[in-house]
Amino acid sequence: MNIKFTLILVLFAYIGMHAQNIDSIPQNPTEEVSNTLFAKRAFTNHFFGANHSLLDFEDYRGGFEINYARNLVNNIDISFPFRVNVIRLPEEIENRNNFSLDGLMQLHYDKTAIIDPYLLVGAGAVLEPGRSTDVQIPAGIGINIRMNKVLFLNIQSEFRLSLSRQRNNYVHGIGLGINLNELIKPVVIEASEATLADRDEDGVPDESDNCPDIKGLLAFDGCPDSDNDGIGDQKDACPDLAGTKAFRGCPDTDNDGLSDVDDACPDQAGLKAFDGCPDSDEDGIMDSEDNCPTEKGSKENRGCPVVIADQDKDGVPDEKDECPTTYGLLNGCPDDDKDGVKNAADNCPQLAGPINAKGCPDSDDDGLDDFNDKCPNKAGPLSNSGCPEISAEDKATLEFAVQAVNFQTGSAELRTESFPVLSKITDILRRYPSYNLVISGHTDSTGEAEKNQILSQARAEACRNYLRDQGGINPSRMSAIGYGISQPKATNETLEGRLLNRRVEFDLILN
């Protein structure tokens, strides 16, 4: 294998030097290589892991590779390497043979350069006797070094990801490449130079030369590229200024999307609508015609803003200012508490409040402003002046107390069985701080009316004193009134009626 490989390399070198023995190193390597044939020595390594290194040369086995590469476009090639390998697997002692054929895409840095690095990626099939075909995905790097117009030194390293177990591997190669275009070119020239004229001596026959009297390049059909922008002068609208294909070879100095030839302001980025000139304030008037280029204005005012009357200088034009002589931001009027209600219409101009409350606060959000709300910190219906209504349970307790509060016969001394319900009334008063309590005492018609009046007053006061002394209720929240026999609930002619008439009533009223 080594002898055969050496003989092939010698043959490649001989062909290359014989074909180019005059110009061993190219003076101007501008033509890209279109077809190349490589012969390389390959070295394969299937060993991975902590106990192995890429520099362990004992893990490598040799092989031979023939590779044909063809240029697709610019610096992109496709290549088809065929390789015969000797391999050794980690779990085996004996060597094996396999054969591989790949399809690769190569991205070159600059195929016209003497030193040309490249990246490669592709897919390939590996045939190993006694096994099914293995699919592998190679990726790697390489470099071509021109020795002359025909020969290249090629060095390549790739990692091959196998879809089969324990077949991932590294392959490194070194060898020579032959530029088939240059190898064949001398024969063509020698055969035709007697009949093909080339007046400008640019290597392009006059019959194929679009510029036969001006020395040019083969890439541009014999025409020159004076500004070296990659566009031949015959197609270059600006042959003396380097430009881009997008602008037919003309430059776009200010990068505004218009070539300098079509740009009325080539050094200032502008708009197509204004032939490349700017409109800095974006008012639809280009700067050169705008008397105020940094301030938006109208065409009628030559690009300057219209002066609008604003006596109080609050930014609201007088014609729209509801308070034109007073500084303000709410339709031109002041709104000190910033509640969206101007001071003139705000019943509470220093306290923020909702519009529906004419600018006054509504702390409990019950729809009644604090100044008209008898319970500003507790939500309640408007019908109850903004205070919470007495619950049905508490109303029942007050009703129950009418018969549950009892006294010693003929006196204002409370019986002990009256204390629990009076304690409940204490709790009710604490839950409704905005309510006052009216305690009214009543008697039946037994006895003298004057004495009954005094007794009913004393009993009402006895209840008030209990709530004050035992419940801690502020006496200012309570009033005690005796009505004697004047407000009976039932007839005094029966025992049941007299029992109903002997009572103390408890009524909660708002402050």
Residue-wise pLDDT for 154-189, tens only, equals 999 999 999 887 788 899 999 999 998 877 765 444
For the beta carbon of residue 148, count every other beta carbon within 10 angstroms.
Answer: 19
pLDDT above 60: residue 284: yes
10: confidence class by pLDDT, cuts 50, 70, 90: very low
> Which one has a higher pLDDT value, 69 or 289?
69
Q: What three-state secondary structure class fits 138?
A: strand
Reference 182, options 35, 388, 357; nearest CA is 35
Q: Which domain holds residue 404?
A: 392-510
Query: What is the average per-residue pLDDT within 286-307?
Result: 85
Distance CA 81, CA 89 (A): 22
Residue 233 backbone dihedrals phi, psi, to 5 degrees? -55, -30
pLDDT above 80: residue 344: yes
In a domain, 176, yes or no: yes
Distance CA 178, CA 181 (A): 9
Percent of the chain with pLDDT over 90: 41
Instruction: Please write down the long-range contacts of 120-126, taking CB distance under 8 Å and 24 or more positions apart.
Output: 120/79, 120/156, 120/158, 124/100, 124/160, 125/100, 125/101, 126/98, 126/99, 126/100, 126/162, 126/167
pLDDT above 50: residue 483: yes
Query: What is the average per-residue pLDDT within 396-424?
Result: 93
pLDDT above 60: residue 115: yes
pLDDT above 90: residue 330: no
pLDDT tens for each residue of 81-100:
999 998 888 778 888 889 99
In a domain, 30, yes or no: yes
Q: What three-state secondary structure class fits 360?
A: coil
pLDDT at 406: 94
* 413-428 b/e (C-beta count within 10 Å ≥ 16 → b): ebeeebeebbebbbeb
pLDDT at 26: 46
pLDDT at 220: 86
pLDDT above 60: residue 300: yes
Number of structural domains the chain divides into = 2
In a domain, 332, yes or no: no
CA angle 174, 180, 184 (to 5 degrees): 150
Distance CA 40, CA 67 (A): 8
pLDDT at 431: 93
The answer to whether 216 and 227 have CB atoms below 8 angstroms apart is no
pLDDT above 90: residue 128: no
The answer to whether 126 and 98 have CB atoms below 8 angstroms apart is yes
Find the DSSP H helices in 337-448: 392-404, 419-431
The answer to whether 238 and 266 have CB atoms below 8 angstroms apart is no
The answer to whether 71 and 34 have CB atoms below 8 angstroms apart is yes
Residue 354 has which token pair? 């909702």
Q: Cα-atom radius of gyration of the chain, to the nearest Å?
A: 54
> Which one has a higher pLDDT value, 328 or 175?
175
In a domain, 431, yes or no: yes
pLDDT at 50: 52
pLDDT at 340: 84
348: confidence class by pLDDT, cuts 50, 70, 90: confident
pLDDT at 58: 80
Query: What is the average per-residue pLDDT within 221-247?
Result: 88
The secondary structure of residue 240, as a DSSP letter, is T
pLDDT above 90: residue 196: no
507: confidence class by pLDDT, cuts 50, 70, 90: very high
Q: What three-state secondary structure class fits 86?
A: strand
Q: What is the pTM of this model?
A: 0.36
pLDDT above 60: residue 32: no
pLDDT at 393: 94
Chain centre to alpha carbon of residue 379: 44
Any idea what the CATH number is for the domain that residue 435 is in? 3.30.1330.60
Q: What three-state secondary structure class fits 380?
A: coil
pLDDT above 60: residue 9: no
Reference 403, options 260, 506, 268, 308; nearest CA is 506
Find the DSSP H helices in 300-441: 392-404, 419-431
Could you give the dihedral angle defined by the CA atoms of residues 446, 452, 453 and 457, in that order, rounded to the nearest 10 degrees? -130
pLDDT above 70: residue 8: no
In a domain, 320, yes or no: no
* 69-108 b/e (C-beta count within 10 Å ≥ 16 → b): bebeeebebebebebebbbbeeeeeeebebebebebebeb
Reference 232, options 266, 199, 202; nearest CA is 202
Domain end position, chosen among 185, 208, 243: 185
pLDDT tens for each residue of 412-458:
999 999 999 999 999 999 999 989 999 999 999 999 999 999 999 99
Percent of the chain with pLDDT over 70: 91
Any idea what the CATH number is for the domain that residue 164 is in? 2.40.160.20
In a domain, 289, yes or no: no
Exposed, middle or buried: residue 280 (CB in 10 Å: 0-12, 13-18, 19+)?
Answer: middle
Residue 100 has which token pair? 């591989």
pLDDT above 70: residue 7: no
Mean pLDDT taken over the chain: 85
- Based on DSSP, count helices (H) and strands (E) in the chain, helices before strands: 6, 11
Domain end position, chosen among 185, 205, 230: 185
In a domain, 358, yes or no: no
> What DSSP string runs through 311-335?
TT-SSS-TTT-SSTTS--SBTTB--
Domain end position, chosen among 146, 164, 185: 185
Distance CA 106, CA 86 (A): 25
For CA atoms 303, 309, 310, 315, give the dihedral sign: negative
Pick from 24-33, 132-141, 355-364, 380-389 the range whose average pLDDT is largest: 132-141
Q: Where are the beta strands (DSSP E) in 163-199?
A: 169-179
pLDDT at 195: 59
In a domain, 398, yes or no: yes
Least confident of 14-23, 74-83, 259-268: 14-23
Residue 120 backbone dihedrals phi, psi, to 5 degrees? -140, 150
